Structure 1
Amino acid sequence: MEAGQGAYVVVGDMTMAREYAGAFQRAGLTSLDAFLRHSASQSLGKPGLPSWRERVRVELDGTGGGERVVYVKRFRRPPIGAQWGRVVQGVVRHGTAWIEWHWMRRLAADGIATATPVAFGERMRGAREEASVLVSAAVPGVSLESWVRDRTSRCPRVLVTQLAEFVGRFHGRGYVHRDLYLSHVFFDERSGELRLIDLQRVMRPRWRRVRWQIKDLAALDYSTPRSAATSTDRVRFLRRYLGLRRLGESGRRLVRRVRAKSMNIARHDQRRRARLFVERVN
């Protein structure tokens, strides 16, 4: 949910959600350096993650003896290529963490559920980023990737419909994700709510928008196991996404383009996995 006016406070060189400020202060997390140095409860590294990027899970003491879990993304001295890529995107005065901080708040304001940003800080030298930190509240539920992996049956039709409407609303607002795999969509089975996470590459393209939308749809298609969704389910998803009762020629063309892009993603992922395997062996 988008925080309203007064929901954030400035503590040192960090901006914090007011409701989390007390827990951060009790943990000694009152500056950018404190967040960068903090010994995390759990490191969430993954293969291929560059050394200048780090994801950690931190447990905070809440009021009344409760516990709050937050996830911290830390960026230290991004290499020149990453710095240049940020500037090319038009983000000159802010660092890497600010990008996702911005999109979290922007999407929430547009009615797209995502993780709640609770703290942000950065150190810039002109356009050069030295360090930045983004902290978000734990998202309820699990990723759809985990959810479908733990099931032995197909996804319920109601969930296929819900996901199609969710992605359709996201694209309908003009956004594209560019990493829209099942691992980046969280599902809370208790509330039935979907949330979009990892917004680092989100953008609102002014041109060639359909190209990026097809990439998003293909990423979902590729990351959905065949055991979880049949070809019929996938066509049903696209029909609902388009808001059509049946696909015309333009809809069938979209199906072909999504399938072709999905196969391209599969080939690229195979090459990436092979490269990572060789790096680990060597």
Structure 2
Amino acid sequence: MAIVGEGDNRGRYARHARRLGVLNQISFLGGRGDIPQLLSAGDLLVHPAYDENTGTVLLEAITAGLPVLATDVCGYAAHIKKANAGRVLASPFEQSLLDQTLEQMLTSPEREKWAQNGLAYGRPELYRMPETAVDLIEEHCLTLRQDHSVAKPTLQQMDEYYRDDLKEALGNKAVFSSMMRTQGEAYREPEGTGRRTVRFSLANRHYFIKTHTGVGWKEILKNLIYFRLPVLGAMDEWHGIHHLQRLEIKTLSVAAYGTTGGMYNWARRRSFIVTDEIANSKSLEEFCREWKTHSPGSPGEIRFKRWLIEQVAVIARKMHNSGANHRDFYLGHFMLQPGYRSGQLSADASRLFVIDLHRMQLRRRTPTRWQVKDIAGLRFSSFFIGLTKRDRCRFIRTYWREITLRQSLGRTPNYWRDPQSLRNRLFWWRVESWAKKLQQAEERRGPDAQVGHAVQTAKPHAPH
């Protein structure tokens, strides 16, 4: 093995190699000036990063004609796809998928094609970037001089985005102040949150706009006292939507977004987010409620029920493995677009969406307690739909697919001697315990109270 480059950890790596008895098989080459030649001598560049803002080495490999295998968290991974110069693995990272793809690429007859694509892409695209950047900067400055007077910097910073089709339909109303005053069918306005959800129509299309007018310091302090993070605006939902889209989880589509208020003016921060309506859909809470009295009986209905359970488990697993947690993970926040084939429900023709991401949290790793709370939310909202023990086991087996069901439940022989089995057993005990607490809290509110999970009607989707 040849290791190229300098770094603070070179000595540590050498000592580690000596302890493993492989130091004589490794050459530390240090800093080199012939990187393009070294890259050209390779067969494949593997770059499985967990976190990488850019990844300049990806561009270096492409221009040297070296096929690349990378993860989608790399900032320059898009160039690999655009050039068709290798493969990009989707998040969350799975070692088995990396191993499988690596083996396929090393034996693939497409390696020569990827190399040629990279060389062809590098010449016209990458080396004209400085000129393109200059053109864009000059164009932007010219626009500023024509349309705006140069203003003094203030704390009232503003950031806006409008998708082309919505911007064209709005015309001169595509400004922050107009969007905050959007009128339509009011769906939800929780007291004390400064949040309002409205459904409106424009150019024969339907949208939802969620506006945030600032929660005030009183609400912020109340949340912090109870060790809860307050929802300060639409930014969390904006990031949450794009995070799920990167995971290839179906969710809302953003048509517009705007925020103002400055970084240090949290209590008065005003923002909005506009999403497309998920047409012809109903919440899973509403769809599954019929199972309580009319359990799926035909083979087609049973297959569709199993598909739904597995889809919810896969979504939960992908989300938690990527460092995200929903915080309102109830069946009412899954929207189903049912599809039919030959007059029967079809999994292939149906789509399942996750909505209401305004409280979503993103980290490098999801803490266990937040995994427990998310799964407990699902368990709580499934109390009323007649799930069987087999259904629950199917969910657990899909959520933790790397291990057997017995291992997932911590029911292996002599489990008390196995720390992992004990942790698994404790995990599901905590899920059941928290779900029962949610149920007790709902019962205390009374039958007519607005419970924590979404109460959906027959209307199209309504983000809360």
Query: What interval of TM-score do these two structures reach, taking the shorter chain for normalisation?
Result: 0.7 to 0.9
Q: CA deviation at 1:22?
A: 1.4
Give the match for residue 33 of structure 1: 177
Name whichever of 110-119 and 94-103 sits farther off.
94-103
Is residue 2:319 matched to residue 1:182? no
Is residue 2:268 matched to residue 1:133? no
How many Å separate the matches in 1 of 2:437 and 2:355?
24
Give the match for residue 218 of structure 1: 376
Give the match for residue 285 of structure 2: 145
The match for 1:266 among 417, 426, 439 is 439
Give the match for residue 148 of structure 2: none
Give the match for residue 4 of structure 2: none
**What secondary structure, in the 3-state scheme, does the structure 2 residue paired with 1:111 have?**
coil
Stretches of structure 1 lacking an aligned partner (at least 5 in a row): 5-11, 62-66, 278-282
How many Å separate the matches in 2 of 1:177 and 1:90?
13
**Structure 1 contact 117–136 (Cα < 8 Å) conserved:** yes
Is residue 2:215 matched to residue 1:69? no
The match for 1:246 among 402, 405, 408 is 405
**Structure 2 contact 183–198 (Cα < 8 Å) conserved:** no
The match for 2:394 among 236, 243, 251 is 236
Code of the residue aligned with 2:202 in structure 1: it is: L
Distance 1:167 1:207, change over 3 A: closer
**Structure 2 contact 320–366 (Cα < 8 Å) conserved:** no
**Structure 1 contact 14–30 (Cα < 8 Å) conserved:** no
- C-alpha distance after superposition, 1:189-245 (max 9, x if no partner): 123222211111111345771111011111001001444312321122112111144
Q: CA deviation at 1:114?
A: 1.1
Code of the residue aligned with 1:145 in structure 2: it is: E
Give the match for residue 22 of structure 1: 168
**Structure 1 contact 177–203 (Cα < 8 Å) conserved:** yes
Q: Which has the higher contact order (CA 8 A, sep 6+)?
A: 1
**Structure 1 contact 145–183 (Cα < 8 Å) conserved:** yes
Code of the residue aligned with 1:52 in structure 2: it is: G
Is residue 2:260 matched to residue 1:117? no
**What secondary structure, in the 3-state scheme, does the structure 2 residue paired with 1:136 have?**
strand
Distance 1:146 1:159, change over 3 A: same
Q: CA deviation at 1:32?
A: 1.6
- C-alpha distance after superposition, 1:21-79 (max 9, x if no partner): 11222xx6311211222221x11026x54362111101111xxxxx2111111111321
Give the match for residue 307 of structure 2: 158
The match for 1:50 among 188, 192, 208 is 192
Stretches of structure 2 lacking an aligned partner (at least 5 in a row): 1-77, 79-157, 297-301, 340-348, 411-420, 451-464
**Structure 2 contact 396–405 (Cα < 8 Å) conserved:** no
**Structure 1 contact 238–255 (Cα < 8 Å) conserved:** no
How many Å separate the matches in 1 of 2:258 and 2:232?
9
Give the match for residue 9 of structure 1: none
Distance 1:215 1:102, change over 3 A: same
Code of the residue aligned with 2:276 in structure 1: it is: A
Code of the residue aligned with 2:246 in structure 1: it is: A
TM-score (norm 2): 0.50
Is residue 2:356 matched to residue 1:202? no
Distance 1:142 1:116, change over 3 A: same
Is residue 2:333 matched to residue 1:193? no
Code of the residue aligned with 2:335 in structure 1: it is: F
Give the match for residue 8 of structure 1: none
Give the match for residue 460 of structure 2: none
- CA RMSD of superposed structures (Å): 3.1
Q: CA deviation at 1:95?
A: 5.2
Aligned-pair identity (%): 25
How many Å separate the matches in 1 of 2:366 and 2:200?
40
Larger Rg: 2
